[in-house]
Amino acid sequence: MRKKGITLLCIVLSMAIMQINIRLTSAHENLNLFDEILIQTKSKTVEYGLKTCFETQEDSKEICNYLISAIDLDYKKVILTRTENKDSYNVDFSSGNARGYVEALKYKNKSLITINISTVSNENGLVSLKNKISASIGCRGKNVKYFQYLKAKVEKTSKNGGTNNINVINQKIIKILKSYGTENIDTVSLNNGLSTMAYTRKFDEKVINNKLFDFNYAVCSYSSGNYIIIGTPEIITTY
């Protein structure tokens, strides 16, 4: 009877452990990589942006004006400038805390379209913004590529070696990346911090020195505090 009791207890414990692992795995898979970095480093979003490039056979002016009207940013859009010449068409706009442009360059018998939007916000709205852009493009575009960036400020701590230390922050992010099976993690020093390239297999990729990369982040120290700047496949904003 004792052996049966021990066996039953082992089975129950094994099932409980399996359930915990399933929940942790599910939570890990469902959590956005950007958001997980923000949570683990105790950082607050201050700005994010998205640059989207694609090809189309449609008329440059027509597709630009369509995209301007189709992109829903939940605010009244203000057109700042419209510029047109033989080979290009450009519309700059402002919308609440967001600013950006839609540009078309004529190349042979097609148009190369760029949508660039940056938003000042204390929340990470990249997923929502990407979904809106994707829905606006629909089936009109080919070879669509997305370049994302996010800037966040790290909360101050009073502990020595805490989150105020850029090396500690950097190691926390590397640990997160490794938990996702990330490869080609390469860190270099900057004048005011550290910059890291990595290959997560989650974003549009590029090749640098014969290695694949799709994720870039920098941990920088300024007089106003420490910041994390994330970009895919590389950071597309100044830092």
Q: What is the pTM of this model?
A: 0.81
Which tens digit of pLDDT belongs to each residue from 135-188? Answer: 999 998 999 999 999 999 999 765 544 446 899 999 999 999 999 999 999 999
Q: Kindly report the CA angle at 191 between 185 and 194, in degrees rounded to 5?
A: 20
Same domain, residue pair 117 and 155: no
Same domain, residue pair 66 and 36: no
Confidence bin at 55 (pLDDT 50/70/90) = very high
Same domain, residue pair 105 and 78: yes
Same domain, residue pair 228 and 139: no
**Statement: residue 87 has pLDDT above 60:** yes
Give the span between the Cα atoms of 91 and 65, in whole angstroms. 8
Q: What is the pLDDT of residue 104?
A: 95
Q: What is the pLDDT of residue 7?
A: 55
In a domain, 15, yes or no: no
In a domain, 125, yes or no: yes
Same domain, residue pair 65 and 85: yes
Q: What is the pLDDT of residue 151?
A: 97
In a domain, 216, yes or no: yes
In a domain, 6, yes or no: no
In a domain, 116, yes or no: yes
Same domain, residue pair 55 and 134: yes
Tell which of 148, 177, 200 closes a domain: 148
**Statement: residue 83 has pLDDT above 50:** yes
Which tens digit of pLDDT belongs to each residue from 10-32? Answer: 454 555 444 434 333 333 333 58
Domain count, the chain: 2
Span 113-122, mean pLDDT?
96
Q: What is the pLDDT of residue 218?
A: 97
In a domain, 190, yes or no: yes
Tell which of 97, 132, 148 closes a domain: 148
Q: Kindly report the CA angle at 207 between 204 and 213, in degrees rounded to 5?
A: 55
Q: What is the pLDDT of residue 4?
A: 54
Q: Residue 114 is part of which domain span?
A: 48-148
In a domain, 22, yes or no: no
**Statement: residue 127 has pLDDT above 60:** yes
Tell which of 110, 127, 148 closes a domain: 148
Cα 126 versus chain centre, distance: 6
Q: What is the pLDDT of residue 111?
A: 93
Contact present, 193 and 220 (Cβ < 8 Å): yes
Q: What mean pLDDT value characterizes the chain?
A: 85
Same domain, residue pair 125 and 142: yes
CATH code where residue 133 lies: 3.30.310.180
